[in-house]
Amino acid sequence: MKNVDLIIPVYNEEEVIDLFHAKLTAAIKDLPYVFTIWYVNDGSQDATTQKLADLARTDARIQVVELSRNFGHQAALTAGLDRSHGDYAISLDGDGQHPPELIAELLKLAESGYDIIQTERLDAGGTSAFKRWTSTLFYRLINRIGSTHITPGAADFRLLSRQVVEAIRGMPEYHRFLRGMVAWVGYKSVILPYMPPPRMAGKSKYSLKKMVNLSMDAVFSFSLVPLYIGISLGLLMLLLALVEMIYVLSFWVTGNISNLAPGWSSLMFIILLVGGFLMISIGVIGVYIGYIFQEVKGRPVYLVREPAENDDKGSTAD
Ligand code: UDP
Ligand code: MG
């Protein structure tokens, strides 16, 4: 039987953890896989720690990873992925918003040869209007300026095959935006839409600050556009310098040059010219920083995909 790792980050989820675990075990009861349930306790300060220890005593499939403090959802997911060893790793939230009943469907798709099964949260009453609005805005921005396309509504609820888990582990970057990283690695992927139910209990652990941090990580690790703004502004200023020169020349040609305030033309021209050159130099520095940034991220230059057994075998038959 194949091994499956379930990775569940939890942060102060005392109200929901027992409920969630009951729902999860019911959902995976009849599935023919060996499950390891990784609860990554992201520095909870409430009774979550105790509850997880109690649960682990009743269910041998549970492994608890205790982070030393609250490192955040993405770090907790990474801790789980780093420890996973099965054929498939499935990450899901511990609040029931990523319905465990979908695990069966995720595994079915994985068996048909997909390496990444990314779920897509459909708009529904389960999430607040504010969350939906900020999420739409965010995906629009990141897909406009980023080089990797990220499915709007992609949640951290997905199945990854072993080779994809290894690929993600080969990306040592510190600021981790897993949705983007998973989109970046490629491989055979498919999207599974689902309706998000409301939280089973408790409140959202994603504070506004955490949401802002996550979007910053996404924008700055997947786009160099902000660094290049300087160049565009510089070119714009040089263009203005040119327009100003033509403007002044038009006065000179028509013999009305004395209508301009003395000194205005030369001062304006120099300001625009120098400003333009300065902005362009800043932009050039930005480009170099962009290159340095790409280098320090240390992402692999390419990844090789091992075809699944049930991939098209036509070409190998000889
Ligand atoms: N979470 C975490 N660390 C954090 C914040 C959240 O591990 O710093 C977990 C949380 O316990 C939950 C999941 O990440 O299992 C998603 O968080 P939440 O449901 O609060 O986010 P929302 O659904 O409101 O976006
Ligand atoms: Mg939630």
| Per-residue model confidence as pLDDT tens digits over 131-149 | 778 888 888 888 888 878 8
Burial of 263 (0-12, 13-18, 19+ CB in 10 A): exposed
Q: Note the Cα 88 to chain centre separation in Å.
A: 20
Confidence label for 299 from pLDDT (cuts 50, 70 and 90): confident
Report percent pLDDT > 70 for the chain. Answer: 96
In this prediction, residue 228 carries a pLDDT of 81
pLDDT at 315: 46
Ligand 1 mutation target, pool 68, 95, 214, most atoms within 8 A of CB = 95
Is 313 a residue whose pLDDT tops 60?
no
- pLDDT tens-place string over residues 182-232: 999 989 899 999 988 888 888 888 888 888 888 888 888 888 888 888 888
Residue 252 pLDDT more than 60? yes
Q: What are phi and psi of 59, to 5 degrees?
A: -135, 110
User: Considering only CA atoms, which residue is closest to atom 24 of ligand 1?
Assistant: 204
The percent of residues above 90 in pLDDT, for the chain, comes to: 48
Instruction: Say what the pLDDT of residue 269 is.
Output: 87
Which numbered ligand comes closest to the C-alpha of 131? 1
37: which DSSP letter?
Answer: E
CB atoms within 10 A of CB 34: 13
Is the per-residue pLDDT at 318 higher than 50?
Answer: no
Locate tokens 């310098």: which residue?
241
Give the CB-side neighbour count of residue 46, counting CA atoms within 13 A.
Answer: 11
Ligand 1 and 39: CB distance under 6 A: no
How far is residue 254's CA from residue 71's CA, in Å, rounded to a whole number?
A: 69
Does the pLDDT at position 301 exceed 90?
no
Average of per-residue pLDDT across 168-188 = 90
Residue minimizing CA distance to atom 8 of ligand 1 = 72
pLDDT band at 310 (very low <50, low <70, confident <90, very high): low
The span from the CA of 168 to the CA of 183, in Å, is 10
Which residue's C-alpha comes closest to atom 25 of ligand 1? 206
pLDDT of residue 311: 66
